[in-house]
Amino acid sequence: MSAVFSLSSVGFSYREWVALDGIDLTVTTGERVALLGPNGSGKSTLLRLLCGLAFATTGEVRAFGAPLTEARLTQVAENTAFRRRLGLVFQSPDVQLFNATVLDEIAFGPLQLGWSRAQVLAAVDAMLDRFGLGALRHRAPHRLSGGEKKKVALASVLVTEPEVLLLDEPTAALDPRSRDDLLDLLSGDLVRGRTVITATHEMDSVAGIAARAVVIAGGRIAADAPVAKVLADTLLLRRVGLIRGAGRLRLEA
C-alpha cells in the first residue's frame, strides 16, 4: 500500500502560537482514520496542512509521494492535479457554502477543475439524488437548516470523486436523526474505496467511520492505534479530555 500522506516531525504555528508540534504520521491508501482530540487540540489545523491550505512551519508533509509545499501548489497543473485528488469538508458549513444556489454550490468544484457542462450537470444530478437534495436544487445554501447545509457541503466535495476525503467534524451540531443520516452516508459506499480522515470529538460515532484512531492533544499525537484499542483506553481518553472524568471514575470505583 502506498502512502497518501507522510508527515515527519511536522510543526505549525499561528504567529507565535504553536498549534502542532512534532507530528509523525503516515496514512496509506484506503485507510479510514479518525483524528480524535478535544477542542483546540489542532485537528482542523492538521487537516489544513494535509489539504495544502496551510504549510508546515517545521518538518515535512508529503502528499501522494511528493513534498507538499506552497511552491508546488502555485503551479497550475500541480494544483489542479492535487485538488482533483482530495476534498476537504470544512467544520463550518457557513464557510464552505458560498454560492447562490445549491446547484451552483455542487457544480463549483467540477467547474473549477474544467469539466464540461454536460459532465457537471450529470454529476450534480447524481449527487442531488444520492443525498435526497433534489427539492433544494434552487434554494440558497445559506438559508438551509444545519443538517441540510452539512449534506450540501459533503455533496459539493464528493461530486468530484476525490480519492482522499478530509472531514472536519461532519456531525457536530446536528440533531440525532440528521446525525445518523449523515453517519449512514459516511459509512456506506459513497466513501468506499477512498481514504477518509475524519476529525471529531464525538466518541460514539468513531467506530462507524474509522478503523484507526489518532488521538491529538495540545498539538501532539497522544496515541495512534486501532479504534477499538483507543476507545478501550479510558485512562488516556480522560487524560486528554475526550471523556468526562468524574462520572466514569465513580463507575469504576
Partner 1 sequence: MPDGATPFGRCGCARGPGGGIEGLLHGLVGAMEHAGAAESTAARRGLLQALDPRAKLIGLGALILSVTLTHRLAVLAALFALAVGLAMASRLGPGRMARQVWLGVALFSGALALPALVLVPGPAILHLPGLGWPVTAPGLTSAAFLLGRAETAASFAALLILTTPWSHVLKAMRAVGVPVGLVGLLGMTHRYIFLLLQTALQMFEARRARMLGPPGVAARRRMLVAGVGVLLTRSLALAGEVHLAMVARGYRGDVRLIDDFRLRPRDGLAAGVALLVPVAILLGGR
Ligand X SMILES: Nc1ncnc2c1ncn2[C@@H]1O[C@H](COP(=O)(O)OP(=O)(O)OP(=O)(O)O)[C@@H](O)[C@H]1O
Please tell me the total number of residues recorded for the chain in this structure: 253
How far apart CA 160 and CA 107 sit, in angstroms, is 9
How far apart CA 135 and CA 150 sit, in angstroms, is 16
List the interface residues with ligand X, window 83-112 (CB under 6 A).
91
Q: Is 23 in the site for ligand X (CB under 6 A)?
A: no
Q: Is 40 in the site for ligand X (CB under 6 A)?
A: yes
Residue nearest Mg ion, CB atom distance:
44
Site map 75..104 versus Mg ion, x via CB under 5 A: ----------------x-------------
Those residues whose C-beta lies under 8 Å from the C-beta of residue 222, and which sit 6 or more positions away, are 215, 216, 236, 239, 240
Q: Is 134 in the site for ligand X (CB under 6 A)?
A: no
- Report in angstroms the alpha-carbon separations of 40 from 89, 107, 161, 241: 18, 33, 30, 11
Q: What is the sign of the dihedral through the CA atoms of 144, 150, 116 and 66? A: positive
Among positions 24, 26, 132, 138, the unique one binding partner 1 when judged by CB under 8 A: 138
Q: Which stretch binds partner 1 (CB under 8 A): 33-41, 48-56, 185-193, 217-225?
A: 48-56
Instruction: Give the number of residues in contact with ligand X, rule: CB under 6 A.
Output: 13
User: The C-alpha cell of 146 is what?
Assistant: 444545519
Those residues whose C-beta lies under 8 Å from the C-beta of residue 38, and which sit 6 or more positions away, are 201, 217, 240, 241, 242
Q: Is 178 in the site for partner 1 (CB under 8 A)?
A: no
Cα angle for residues 217, 83, 1 (degrees, 5° grid): 65
List the interface residues with partner 1, window 191-250 (CB under 8 A).
none
Among positions 37, 93, 141, 170, the unique one binding ligand X when judged by CB under 6 A: 37
Among positions 44, 171, 195, 200, the unique one binding Mg ion when judged by CB under 5 A: 44
Backbone dihedral region for residue 181 (phi beyond 0: left; psi -120 to 50: alpha; all else: beta): alpha
The footprint of ligand X (CB under 6 A) covers: 14, 17, 19, 37, 39-45, 91, 201
The footprint of Mg ion (CB under 5 A) covers: 43-44, 91
The footprint of partner 1 (CB under 8 A) covers: 48, 51, 53, 76, 79-80, 83-84, 87-88, 90, 92, 94-96, 98-101, 103-104, 107-109, 111-113, 117, 120-121, 124, 138-140, 142-145, 156-157, 160
